[in-house]
Amino acid sequence: MRKLTLEMVPSRSTREAMRPLFDKIHSYEILETLKIDLEECICIDLVEFVLKDDVDINDLRYIGDMEILSVMRSDGNRHVCLIKHHEPEASRDEFREFDLNIIYTAPTMISENRMVISILGEQAELKRFLELVRPTAESITNMTFKRAAYQKQDVLSALTERQREAVIAAYHHGYYDYPKRISSEELSARLNISKGTMMEHLRKAEGRILREILTGY
């Protein structure tokens, strides 16, 4: 397995397509890709946004095509969020072309004038990815191929059984959706525990998940 890291300047058409995104933010970094559904054209990611000075994260439901499901941590204008990316209808065919046997990894950072994308895969798959990405770039300023081993730890293994049960139930029942599809009272009833106990499980689970993912940042 090899790791491909690309640094590139987005093409004019790419910048134009991303303009609504950068009306609100300076840049964003994908910390972890949790799910990619190429049939439905959605991604679930953990993302750190750097917002512009006059933007309040609490006023946002969407940033471009990214729906904010939950704000996990805030520090000044930096906000770590759980997001769902909805690929626009017009570009779904192109999105589905990325149905490759690859793993998205760090660093992956996007700003208006610079993109860094990192993926893991076999050489043939990485070359195909490069062919698909080239048209979106005005220029590729740096590119590295190197041998790599993917050693992702299952972050849920860091949780206690009760914490894992609570966070999985919260996700599946829409507690992290915006707007929520289930209230904290309804979720605690489904889990047959008090609301206070459930909220404690979720807070501790979210903290542990963030520590696992962000270790080394």
Of 94, 117, 147, the domain-final residue = 147
CA gap 186, 146 in Å, rounded:
49
Residue after which a domain boundary falls, among 123, 147, 171: 147
Beta bridge partners of 26: none
Q: What is the mean pLDDT of the chain?
A: 89
Same domain flag for 85 and 159: no
Do 165 and 140 share a structural domain? no
Same domain, 99 and 24: yes
User: In this structure, are residues 100 and 83 in contact, taking their beta carbons and an 8 Å threshold?
Assistant: no
Whether 113 and 68 share a structural domain: yes
- pLDDT tens across 77-119, in order? 999 999 999 888 888 888 888 888 888 888 899 999 999 999 9
Q: Are 61 and 67 in contact (CB under 8 A)?
A: yes
Q: Six-digit token pair at 52? A: 């512009």
Which band of pLDDT confidence, cut at 50, 70 and 90, is reported for residue 153? Answer: low
Residue 149 pLDDT: 58
Residues 6+ apart with CB under 8 A from 177: 69
**216 has pLDDT over 70:** no
The answer on pLDDT for 139 being more than 70 is yes
Distance CA 187, CA 192 (A): 9
106 and 206 co-located in one domain: no
127 and 55, same structural domain?
A: yes
Q: What pLDDT does residue 70 have?
A: 92
Q: Could you tell me if 104 and 78 are in contact, meaning their C-beta atoms sit under 8 angstroms apart?
A: no
73 and 172 assigned to the same domain: no
Do the Cβ atoms of 1 and 120 come closer than 8 Å?
Answer: yes
Domain that holds residue 40: 2-147
pLDDT of residue 104: 87
Q: How far is CA 80 from the centre of its chain?
A: 10
What pairs with residue 147 in β-bridges? 2
Q: In this structure, are 58 and 134 located in the same domain?
A: yes
Q: What is the reported pLDDT for 209? A: 82
Q: How many structural domains does the chain have?
A: 2
**Statement to judge: residues 187 and 136 lie in one domain:** no
Same domain, 67 and 46: yes
Residues 108 and 198 in one domain: no
Q: Are 39 and 111 part of one and the same domain?
A: yes
CATH number at residue 194: 1.10.10.10
